[in-house]
């Protein structure tokens, strides 16, 4: 309310001053140049000094007022009020106290006093002071010479100005105080809410700008990094958050996540080892997100959110170690049981009746399943903590597929299914790019452990056979200059869309009638994913319920020249140092 009332009354007083100055100036001109036509206009007794003061007032109000008003509204209106006050006092001095003209000017003067009260104490004091100065000058600073009209002018001015200021001040201040109070309360509440929320977050939060200077850090982040909010503000984020790989190895300088987030406007989520200010170490889960502003999506900084997962990772490692140890230790007695059952089923070793044989065959099958479970548990545990045995070499995927399809023919024919092998076909599907590329090279070299790849292809093929009752199993190989793509397609029941995102998780199995009767550990696809990712590849599935499923595997392709170089290096040096697997090219 304060801003509306102030604007209205300033505007009204501005127009009052302008109109009064213009009218008195025009009346002076009329009294001198049109007096023969309208002689009664001369009765206002306007003087040349009045014209000068009115001209100065109009000039200021039209030009100077608006310039000053942009910087200080109160000062602009005060200067205008002084001009109008001088105009009116000059006329009051020139006219006889009992004249009609004097009464007109006196009324205008009192109106001006009322406005001064409305517009604030500065104008009130200025108006009363000028009135006092006028009375003193008129009486030559002698109290006994002050006449009753002068006393009335001075007292009336003071009473009206201060009264209206007092009345208006209450309304004005109440409105202003209420708005300022509400605004302060709102700002204070929002700030307190933000601080409370930020400090209540259990995760560490650090905000930094494009120059990598820390702008904000909450208590959780201060505890993890060892930096107080006061000390950390303005410090480079790299000094606050000293990161290394989870294993403790130093990060590659080209893989600076803080730089990459700002450059690529991409979110990052990874596990790191954080070294605190006091050389404390903690394993953290770190998420870094860019902060952008509309409309140009300009990056102005980033926010890092992290939590201490040291205990969780330690417990995970203990669980993995337990599974690994237990699986390894249990494999020995299970293998012994399986061996003895095989001997019992051997006609050359023992003689048993048909009923006992059926019991032993079922026991042998259960033991084989148990052994597979322990083997999968052991493999998955090693895959999680990076202990999976890996001996990569140059592998021709086409040759590997030829070997595997020969082994798979028996299992496929046993279920009366057709088998189709498509090597070097023209359709190359990439889920990440949705593109189709013409195959140009017949040899598909990759750098991987052939036994691990054999494990993946065998597991996917066994699954395809296991879940397909009729139709055919297709194994295909294709690629382009960057990728080698292997796919295994079946005509089984298919997988619902809601299950596909979880299919490569540990122990996840699709729960439907078609799969419930088929045995499995729920670890096969998890292990396949881990092996493929070990060689910087990717695996995914496309499936339609009732039509079947297709598993795709993409691996970085080696050029023929690079493959020959690696082969020659292996043969010539017999070096045990294993080169790093080639990186998956970034999809456009």
Can you tell me the distance from the alpha carbon of 77 to that of 66, in angstroms, rounded to the nearest whole number? 10
Between the ranges 268-277, 309-318, 435-444, where is the mean pLDDT highest? Answer: 268-277
The per-residue pLDDT for 541 is: 92
CB 2 within 8 A of CB 175: yes
Residue 536: band (very low, low, confident or very high) from pLDDT cuts 50, 70, 90: confident
Q: Mean pLDDT lowest for which of 276-280, 461-465, 556-560, 574-578?
A: 574-578
The per-residue pLDDT for 553 is: 93
Residue 34: band (very low, low, confident or very high) from pLDDT cuts 50, 70, 90: low
Q: Mean pLDDT lowest for which of 406-410, 459-463, 529-533?
A: 406-410
- Find the mean pLDDT for residues 311-338: 76
Can you tell me the distance from the alpha carbon of 550 to that of 541, in angstroms, rounded to the nearest whole number? 6
User: How many whole angstroms from its chain centre is CA 265?
Assistant: 10
Could you tell me which residue, 184 or 429, shows the higher pLDDT?
184
Q: What integer best gives the mean pLDDT of the chain? A: 77
Residue 45: band (very low, low, confident or very high) from pLDDT cuts 50, 70, 90: low
The per-residue pLDDT for 90 is: 74
Can you tell me the distance from the alpha carbon of 52 to that of 244, in angstroms, rounded to the nearest whole number? 82
- Find the mean pLDDT for residues 120-135: 75
CB 427 within 8 A of CB 436: yes
The per-residue pLDDT for 586 is: 45
Phi then psi for residue 299, to 5 deg, are: -80, 125
**Residue ranges per structural domain of the chain:** 2-179, 204-308, 314-385, 393-573
The CATH number of the structural domain formed by 393-573 is 3.30.565.10
User: Any alpha helices (H) in 234-309, and if so which ranges?
Assistant: 237-240, 257-264
- Find the mean pLDDT for residues 269-285: 88
Instruction: Indicate whether 407 pLDDT > 90.
Output: no
Share of the chain above pLDDT 90, in %: 6
Fold for domain 204-308?
Beta-Lactamase (3.30.450)
Exposed, middle or buried, 455 (CB in 10 Å: 0-12/13-18/19+)? middle
Give the Å distances, CA to CA, from 273 to 247, 311, 313, 315: 7, 13, 11, 16
Could you tell me which residue, 363 or 156, shows the higher pLDDT?
363
> Helix count (H) and strand count (E) of the chain?
18, 13
Share of the chain above pLDDT 70, in %: 78
CB 472 within 8 A of CB 491: yes
Tens of pLDDT, residue by residue over 67-94, are 887 777 777 877 887 788 777 777 776 6
DSSP string, 354-417: HHHHHHHHHHHHHHHHHHHHHHHHHHHHHHHHT------EEEEHHHHHHHHHHHHHHHHHHTT-
Tens of pLDDT, residue by residue over 435-449, are 444 444 468 889 888
């Amino acid at each position: 309310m304060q801003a509306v009332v102030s604007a209205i009354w300033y505007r009204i007083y501005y127009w009052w001053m302008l109109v009064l100055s213009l009218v008195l100036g025009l009346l002076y001109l009329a009294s001198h140049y049109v007096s023969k036509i309208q002689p009664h206009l001369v009765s206002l007794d306007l003087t040349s000094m009045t014209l000068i003061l009115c001209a100065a007032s109009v000039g200021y109000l039209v030009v100077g007022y608006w310039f000053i008003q942009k910087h200080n509204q109160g000062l602009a209106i005060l200067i205008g009020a002084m001009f109008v006050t001088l105009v009116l006092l000059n006329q009051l001095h020139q006219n006889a106290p009992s004249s009609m003209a004097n009464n007109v000017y006196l009324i205008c003067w009192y109106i001006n006093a009322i406005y001064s009260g409305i517009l604030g104490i500065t104008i009130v004091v200025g108006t009363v002071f000028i009135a006092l100065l006028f009375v003193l000058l008129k009486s030559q600073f002698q109290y006994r010479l002050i006449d009753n009209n002068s006393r009335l002018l001075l007292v009336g001015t003071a009473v009206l100005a201060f009264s209206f200021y007092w009345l208006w001040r209450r309304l004005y201040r109440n409105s202003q105080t209420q708005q300022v109070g509400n605004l302060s309360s709102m700002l204070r509440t929002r700030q307190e809410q933000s601080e409370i929320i930020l400090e209540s977050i259990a995760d560490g939060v650090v905000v930094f700008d494009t120059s990598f200077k820390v702008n904000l850090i909450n208590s959780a982040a201060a505890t993890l990094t060892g930096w107080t909010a006061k000390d950390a503000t303005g410090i480079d984020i790299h000094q606050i958050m000293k990161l290394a790989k989870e294993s403790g190895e130093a990060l590659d300088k080209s893989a600076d996540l803080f730089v990459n987030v700002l450059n690529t406007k991409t979110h990052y989520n990874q596990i790191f080892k954080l070294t605190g200010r006091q050389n404390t170490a903690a394993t953290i889960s770190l998420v870094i997100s860019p902060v952008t502003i509309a409309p140009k999506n300009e990056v102005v900084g980033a926010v890092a959110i992290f939590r201490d997962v040291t205990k969780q990772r330690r417990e995970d490692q203990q669980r993995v170690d337990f599974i690994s140890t237990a699986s390894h230790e249990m494999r020995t007695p299970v293998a012994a049981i399986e061996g003895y059952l095989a001997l019992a089923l051997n006609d050359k070793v023992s003689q048993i009746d048909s009923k006992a044989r059926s019991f032993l065959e079922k026991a042998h099958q259960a033991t084989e399943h148990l052994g597979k479970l322990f083997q999968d548990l052991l493999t998955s545990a090693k895959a999680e903590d990076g202990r999976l045995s890996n001996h990569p070499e140059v592998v021709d995927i086409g040759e590997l597929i030829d070997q595997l399809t020969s082994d798979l023919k028996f299992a496929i024919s046993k279920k009366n299914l057709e088998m189709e092998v498509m090597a070097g076909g023209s359709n190359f599907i990439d889920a990440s790019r949705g593109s189709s590329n013409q195959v140009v090279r017949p040899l598909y070299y990759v750098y991987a452990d052939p036994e691990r790849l054999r494990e993946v292809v065998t597991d996917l093929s066994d699954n395809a056979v296991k879940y397909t009752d009729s139709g055919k199993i297709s194994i295909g190989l294709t690629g382009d200059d960057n990728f080698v793509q292997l796919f295994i397609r079946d005509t089984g029941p298919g997988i619902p869309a809601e299950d596909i995102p979880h299919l490569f998780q540990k122990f996840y199995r699709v729960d439907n009638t078609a799969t419930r009767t088929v045995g499995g550990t729920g670890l096969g696809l998890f292990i396949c994913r881990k092996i493929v990712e070990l060689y910087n590849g990717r695996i995914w599935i496309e499936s339609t319920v009732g039509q079947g499923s297709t598993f795709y595997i993409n691996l970085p392709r080696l050029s023929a020249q690079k493959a020959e170089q690696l082969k020659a290096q292996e043969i010539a040096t017999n070096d045990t140092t294993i080169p790093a697997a080639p990186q998956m090219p970034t999809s456009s």
